[in-house]
A and B are shown apart, each in its own frame.
Chain A
Amino acid sequence: MSKIHVTTKVNGDEVEFLCDPRETVLDVLRDHLNLTGAKEGCGTGDCGACSVTVDGRLVCSCLMLGAEAEGKEIATVEGIADGEELHPLQKKFIEYAALQCGICTPGILVAAKNLLEREPDPTEEQVRYWLAGNLCRCTGYDKIIRAVMDTAAEMREAS
Chain B
Amino acid sequence: MALDKVVPQNGPEEYEGREKYTHVGTRVDRPDGLDKVTGRAKFGADAHAPGMLHGAIVRSPHAHAKILKIDTSKAEALAGVKAVVTRADFAAGLEGEDWNILENVMASDTALYDGHALAAIAATSSLIARDAVKLVEVEYELLPHVTDVDEAMKPDAPVIRAGQQSKLVPEGMHPNVVNYYEGGHGDMVAGFAEADLVIERHFTTEAAHQGYIEPHAALATLGNDGTGELWCCTQGHFIVQKTCAALVGIDTSQLRVTASEIGGGFGGKTTVFLEPVALALSRKANRPVKMVMSRSEVLRATGPTSSASMDIKIGMTKDGRITAGKGVFRLQGGAFPDAPAGMAAECSFAPYNLNAVSIEGYEVMANRPKQAAYRAPGSPMAAFAVESVVDELCQTLGLDPIETRLKNASREGTKAAYGPTWDRIGLVECLEAAQAHPHMQAPLRESEGRGVAAGFWFNHGGETSVSLALSEDGTAQISVGTPDIGGSRASMALMAAEILGIEYKNIRVTVADTATLGYNDVSHGSRVTYASGLATINAAKDAVGKLCDRAAQRWGIDPEAVIWEDGCAKPAGPNAGQFDPMPLKEITKRMGRTGGPISGHFEATPEGAGVSFGVHIVDAHVDRETGKTSVDRYTVIQDAGKAVHPTYVEGQFQGGAAQGIGWALNEEYVYGEDGRLQNTVFLDYRIPVASDLPMIDTVIVEVPNPGHPFGVRGVGETGICPPLAAIANAVSGAVGVRMTSLPMSPPKILKALKEQ
Contacts and interface: CB of A to CB of B under 8 A. Distances in A.
Interface of A: 20, 22-23, 30, 35-44, 46-47, 49, 76-78, 80-81, 86, 90, 93-97, 99-106, 109, 123-125, 127-129, 131-146, 149-150, 153
Given A42-B295, A44-B683, A94-B34, A20 B127 contact: yes
Contacts of A93: 33, 37
B193 interface: no
Which 10 pairs across A and B sit closest by C-beta, in order of nearness?
A37-B39, A103-B263, A102-B36, A140-B658, A140-B654, A46-B682, A94-B33, A77-B39, A90-B37, A36-B46
Nearest to B694: A142
Given A97-B30, A142-B654, A103 B214 contact: yes
A80 B38 contact: yes
B36 A96 contact: no
Contacts of A136: 213, 690
A102 B658 contact: no
B59 to A, nearest CB: 16
A138 B266 CA distance: 9
A138 B33 CA distance: 15
Interface string B20-51: 00000001011011111111111101100000
Contacts of A20: 125, 127
Nearest to A94: B33
Contacts of A135: 213, 682, 687, 689
B212 to A, nearest CB: 6
A101 B262 contact: yes
A117 to B, nearest CB: 18
Contacts of B7: 146
A139 B682 contact: no
A97 B34 CA distance: 11
Given A36-B46, A102-B35, 18 more contacts: A36-B43, A39-B43, A94-B34, A96-B647, A97-B651, A100-B486, A103-B263, A105-B37, A124-B2, A128-B691, A132-B690, A137-B213, A137-B658, A139-B658, A140-B655, A140-B696, A143-B9, A153-B6
B681 interface: yes
B46 A41 contact: no
B681 A44 contact: yes
B648 interface: yes
B244 to A, nearest CB: 23
Contact of B213 (A47, A94, A131): A47
A142 B35 CA distance: 21
B295 A44 contact: yes
Contacts of A141: 658, 688, 690, 693
A39 B654 contact: no
Given A20-B127, A40-B215, A101-B214, A146 B37 contact: no
User: Which of A43, A76, A103, A133 has the most chain B CB within a 10 Å cutoff?
Assistant: A103
11 contacts: A41-B295, A78-B38, A94-B30, A96-B10, A96-B647, A97-B647, A100-B485, A127-B690, A132-B691, A146-B9, A150-B6
A153 B6 CA distance: 9
Given A35-B39, A77-B39, A94-B33, A22 B127 contact: yes
Nearest to A22: B127
Nearest to A127: B690
Given A41-B295, A135-B687, A46 B213 contact: no
A141 B187 CA distance: 47
B689 A132 contact: yes
User: How many B residues touch the partner, as a band?
Assistant: 35 or more
A101 B689 contact: no
Main secondary structure, interface of A, reads: loop
A139 B690 CA distance: 10
Contacts of B214: 39, 41, 101, 103
Contacts of B10: 95-96
Contact of B681 (A42, A77, A129, A149): A42
Contacts of A46: 295, 681-683
A124 B45 CA distance: 33
B11 to A, nearest CB: 12
Nearest to B682: A46
B533 interface: no
B734 interface: no
B294 interface: yes
A2 to B, nearest CB: 13
A44 B682 contact: yes
A137 B655 contact: yes
Contact of B37 (A36, A94, A123, A149): A94
B487 interface: yes
A86 to B, nearest CB: 7
A76 B725 CA distance: 41
Contacts of B41: 102
B662 to A, nearest CB: 9
B8 interface: yes
Contacts of A133: 689
Interface in B626-661: 647-648, 650-651, 654-655, 657-659
Nearest to B659: A137
B657 A102 contact: no
Contacts of B36: 99, 102, 105
Interface in B204-235: 210-215
Contact of A103 (B27, B30, B33, B213): B213
A132 B689 CA distance: 5
B682 A145 contact: no
Contacts of B688: 140-141
A40 B292 contact: yes
Nearest to A100: B651
A73 B289 CA distance: 33
A28 B2 CA distance: 40
Contacts of B168: none
